[in-house]
Structure 1
Amino acid sequence: MKVTHIPFQETGFFSEIMHHYLEQNKNLKTFYNNFPNLEGFQNQIVEKEKSFSLENRTILANALTQQYDEFSISEATKENIKLLRKKETFTITTGHQLNLFTGPLYFLYKIFSTINLCEELADKFPDKNFVPIYWMATEDHDFEEINYFNFDGKKVAWNRKDGGAVGRFSTEGLEEVFQVFSNHLGNSKNAEYLKNLFSKGYLEHQNLADATRFIANEIFKTYGLIIVDGDDTQLKRVFAPFMKQELQEETSFTSVTKSVEELEKNYKIQVNPREINLFYLGDDFRERIIFENDIYKVNNTDITFTKDKILAEVTNNPLVFSPNVIMRPLYQEVILPNLCYIGGGGELAYWLELKAYFDKVEVPFPILLLRNSVQVISEKQARKLDKLNISKKKLFLNQYDLISQKVVANTDIETDFSDKIKYLKSQFKDLKEVAQKTDVTFLNAVNAQEKKQIKGLENLEKRLLKAEKRRQKDLVDRITLLQNEILPNESLEERQRNFSNYYLEYGASFLSILKEELKPLQLKFTILEI
């Protein structure tokens, strides 16, 4: 096996705001706290230790013990839950939607990044304990984002009625999905493992949250991973003071709006806050809370509250309140002794909008770490890349640009018209000097003619390249086929494929390779040739 690391910036798949964050660009300095390096973690430990109470640790450990009550868990996970009661224990957290059968590959990369960072920090800070957390997004309500996964180029989908928090969804109807998936797998030893994992997860558990917990626990229990369901009365009771503040003062809207106004001067904004960033949860709905005419209304329902009644509802029934994308990060940081959130580029982009909000409510803002990102290349694909003389860096080029470069490199014909365009411009420069001695209308005519002829040369250059691509059709087809194999839909495969693709071929060794090779603090993109 060969491992290559390249800067995230060289893949072409990460946003400018992530480039600048990794480079610690001055434009972003005020939007995060400590940077993900050992010095940053040392500072974060001190800050979090001062702010997180033993009482909250007890509540957290008790809630997790109850959440795991019906599950068989490893000794490592049991021990980590116990460790959360101690003041020298801290968490590293990643979050993910309840995608069907873990969804895209990067689900694994997120969690292995989290586990490996805990182990690295334990080595650097031996007097502290570090516990990996997977936060299940059980309260999301966008079912269309999670009701499928891609296997072997096919979409395996679960069709059912949408409505409410996805973690509460019944698993009824997944027998049909299992049959479709099972038919694709075959009967190998690795296929039987995948069938067993899917059937036990979804056919032996009543709701999507429990099914997801079972599957994640089965894959990662050896490493002591703790899975948190935020849809929990005990945990929301800890968060209740912040929900009350949000309802009365619209704190997040004010703070985040100011940050957005600053960030959008240089970057694309990921999410925008609402006046109240809380939902109200029912059995089959999750709707926004709106404040109008001194009344709190639950959108698209007949439910209303006066101020006193909604505050009493938070006290007496906190489970029905659900933080949205703006407040969920705060909820996480209030109930966990957390040091760092590990996420993808899109996630971290919206976390960068939240620093001022955290400062306002006096909760330490966590370190933000871009998760490990991986491209898997088979030995056969690696040999083809070598034959085509395509480097790992070139592989990530836009397909048109990659093909154009390889076609030009493979021809004796001069396809670059840069010298011709330069010569043409020099000729028109002389003509413009003459034109300036006449009148402006003649000068305008010269400028227009220059523009027209340069455009004509550029079009001829494109037509020549197109003709050369036709002549080198075999080369073009080989490059296209190979890049599409490695980067399906001209995108990173981690967003397109499910882990079952690789488990079917490599078995548990695929998970072992990820565990061994992902280095979260390296801050680089990983290419695995296996």
Structure 2
Amino acid sequence: MEVECIPFKETGYFSQLICDYLDQKKGLSPFFNRYPLPENFGDQIKEKTANYPKEHRAVLVNSLRNQYKGIQVSKATQKNIDSLEKETSFTVVTGHQLNLFTGPLYFLYKIVSTMNLAKKLNKEHPNHHVVPVYWMATEDHDFDEINYFNLHGKKIHWNKKASGAVGRLSTEGLDEVYEIFVSELGNLGLTDRLKELFKKAYLEHSNLTGATRYLANALFGEEGLVIVDGDDKELKKLLVPYAKTDIVDHTPYQKISDTIQTLGEVSPDYTIQVNPREINYFYLKDDLRERIILKKGKYHVINTHIDFSKEELLQELESYPERFSPNVVARPLYQEVILPNLCYIGGGGELAYWLELKSYFDEVGVTFPMLMLRNSALLITEKQSEKVEKMGLKVSHLFMKQHSLINKKIRDISNIDIDFSPQKKLLEEQFQHMYELAEKTDKSFLGAVKAQEVKQKKGLDKLEKRLLRAQKRKLKDHVVRLTDLQNELFPNQSLQERQLNFSEIYLEMGEDLFPLLLNTLDPFLQDFTILKHK
């Protein structure tokens, strides 16, 4: 097994905001609490200890025990749940949608990053116990984002009319998806384990929450992963006072809007991930999950005839907290209110919106967690690695945009020089003399000189591109082999982890896949990892 690392900012797949965060750019310090270095977790433990209500532990543990009823719980997971009753126990958390059969490969990387972080912290802080948690996004309603996964370049798709929270969706119809999956897998090699996982998860559970919990528990339960479903009345009772400040006082709207403006002042290159709403809660009931808005002095549930006065809505919130579902802005607060959490582990997009939230957390008096970018990885076989070497390339070159990679390769192997930079430099020197002449004689001549320089540079660019195209045709075999290899490792010219499902890698590696990830992905590394395997 060989491991190679590339700085995230050199991959070209991560935003300027995330690259600056990883570099701990000084201007970003107001937007996070502590950077996730090993030496900073001690202070985070102290702060969360002082700021996490003791009574929340009892509610949390009781809810978890109820959620795990009827489920085969490993000794490691049971130990972790029980440990959360103690004031010396904490969590590290990742969250993810209920994607069909885990969805993209990075689902595994998120959870492995979280479990490996917990292991490292338990070694560093022997007087405390850290529990890895997967927060299921059961209240999400973006069904089109989760109703498929890719296998062998094909989309395995669940066709269903859906509304409301996805976790409550019936698994009816997934037997047809199972048949398509089985047909695509065939009967060779390691298919039986995958078929069993899918069947037990989706054909033996009545809703998507139960199916996803079973699957995540089957894959990671032996490692002690604890799975949390936030669609829980007892847990939501703890959220009520914070929901009131959102719905009535619009506190997050004000604070986050100010933060977004300040982030823009730090750098105009930062893309805003989410914008807050005046009210950041949905009304959740049966197959309904719709936004609550203020309309003509009433609290209105859009796309319905449901209206509340202020008093009626607050009474509804007190009596039925389970009917109020936080959106992407309010959910992180909910998580930190109910969990004794130290750190959130997420992808670049997730961390980008978390960086908008700190002032809101400060305003409502909830400790802001440390934010850690999850591990990212490219899995490459020895055979693929040998192909890269034979082409005279490094794996890191494959992260380039395809046209840039092809151009680089053609220039490297061509028996003629297709770089007109020297000619352009000579041209610039020649025109410099003309600029000096114009300055001494007739300054009105400067514009004409500049126009001619631009025209001749464009001519050189056209000649360079034309020559490159000619060489591509001449060296077509090299181009085809190169693009085929890059398309294998970067399907749809995207990161492998965003396209492939774990089942495709499992068919190559079998049960070795999970130990490989657990033994090699280091959450503190903060580089993109390339894993070369047999």
Q: Same fold (TM over 0.5)?
A: yes
Report how far residue 444 of structure 1 moved.
2.1
State the partner residue of 1:68: 68
2:395 aligned with 1:392: yes
Identity, % of aligned pairs? 54
State the partner residue of 1:299: 302
Report how far residue 152 of structure 1 moved.
1.0
Report how far residue 146 of structure 1 moved.
0.2
Aligned equivalents of 1:85, 1:298: Cα separation in 2: 38
2:445 aligned with 1:442: yes
State the partner residue of 1:454: 457
Report how far residue 437 of structure 1 moved.
4.5
Report how far residue 436 of structure 1 moved.
3.4
Aligned equivalents of 1:9, 1:422: Cα separation in 2: 30
Alpha carbon RMSD of aligned pairs, Å?
1.1
Report how far residue 53 of structure 1 moved.
2.1
Amino acid at match of 2:528: F
2:414 aligned with 1:411: yes
TM-score (norm 2): 0.98
Query: Structure 1 stretches (4+) deviating beyond 6 angstroms?
Result: none
SS in 1 for 2:176: helix
Report how far residue 469 of structure 1 moved.
1.3
- Spell out, residue by residue over 1:75-111, the C-alpha distance to the aligned partner (whole angstroms, 9 max, x if none): 1111111101100000000000000000000000000
Question: Conserved in 1, the CA contact under 8 Å of 2:6 and 2:529?
Answer: yes
Aligned equivalents of 1:340, 1:437: Cα separation in 2: 66
- Spell out, residue by residue over 1:467-487, the C-alpha distance to the aligned partner (whole angstroms, 9 max, x if none): 111111111111111011011
Report how far residue 212 of structure 1 moved.
0.3
Amino acid at match of 1:144: D
- Spell out, residue by residue over 1:110-156, the C-alpha distance to the aligned partner (whole angstroms, 9 max, x if none): 00111111010000000000101000000000100000000111100
- Spell out, residue by residue over 1:224-264, the C-alpha distance to the aligned partner (whole angstroms, 9 max, x if none): 11100000000000111111111110010000000001112
Amino acid at match of 1:334: V
Aligned equivalents of 2:458, 2:5: Cα separation in 1: 41
State the partner residue of 2:528: 525
Report how far residue 441 of structure 1 moved.
4.5
Amino acid at match of 1:67: Q
Report how far residue 285 of structure 1 moved.
2.0
Aligned equivalents of 1:471, 1:486: Cα separation in 2: 25
Unaligned runs of 5+ in 2: none
Which of residues 319, 324, 333 in structure 2 aligns to 1:321?
324
- Spell out, residue by residue over 1:177-236, the C-alpha distance to the aligned partner (whole angstroms, 9 max, x if none): 000000111224520110010011000100000000000000001111110000000000
Where in structure 2 are the equivalents of 1:266-415 lying within 5 Å?
Answer: 266=267, 267-415=270-418
Amino acid at match of 2:391: L
Question: Conserved in 1, the CA contact under 8 Å of 2:385 and 2:395?
Answer: no
Q: Which moved more, 1:442-451 or 1:355-364?
A: 442-451
- Spell out, residue by residue over 1:423-479, the C-alpha distance to the aligned partner (whole angstroms, 9 max, x if none): 112222222333334545433222211111111111111111111111111111111
Aligned equivalents of 1:505, 1:46: Cα separation in 2: 45
Aligned equivalents of 2:314, 2:239: Cα separation in 1: 13
Which of residues 428, 432, 442 in structure 2 aligns to 1:429?
432
2:113 aligned with 1:135: no
Amino acid at match of 1:255: K
SS in 2 for 1:288: strand
TM-score (norm 1): 0.98
State the partner residue of 1:6: 6
SS in 1 for 2:239: helix
Aligned equivalents of 1:412, 1:164: Cα separation in 2: 62
Unaligned runs of 5+ in 1: none
Where in structure 2 are the equivalents of 1:7-406 lying within 5 Å?
Answer: 7-188=7-188, 190-265=190-265, 266=267, 267-406=270-409
SS in 1 for 2:90: strand
Aligned equivalents of 1:360, 1:289: Cα separation in 2: 23
Aligned equivalents of 2:259, 2:59: Cα separation in 1: 33
Aligned equivalents of 1:87, 1:436: Cα separation in 2: 78
Amino acid at match of 1:515: L
Question: Conserved in 2, the CA contact under 8 Å of 1:54 and 1:86?
Answer: no
State the partner residue of 1:465: 468
SS in 2 for 1:522: coil
SS in 2 for 1:369: strand
Which of residues 485, 492, 503 in structure 2 aligns to 1:482?
485
Aligned equivalents of 2:294, 2:481: Cα separation in 1: 59
SS in 1 for 2:238: helix
Aligned equivalents of 1:230, 1:177: Cα separation in 2: 27
Question: Conserved in 2, the CA contact under 8 Å of 1:32 and 1:352?
Answer: yes
Aligned residue pairs total 530
Aligned equivalents of 1:423, 1:224: Cα separation in 2: 66
Question: Conserved in 2, the CA contact under 8 Å of 1:282 and 1:320?
Answer: yes
Aligned equivalents of 2:34, 2:455: Cα separation in 1: 54
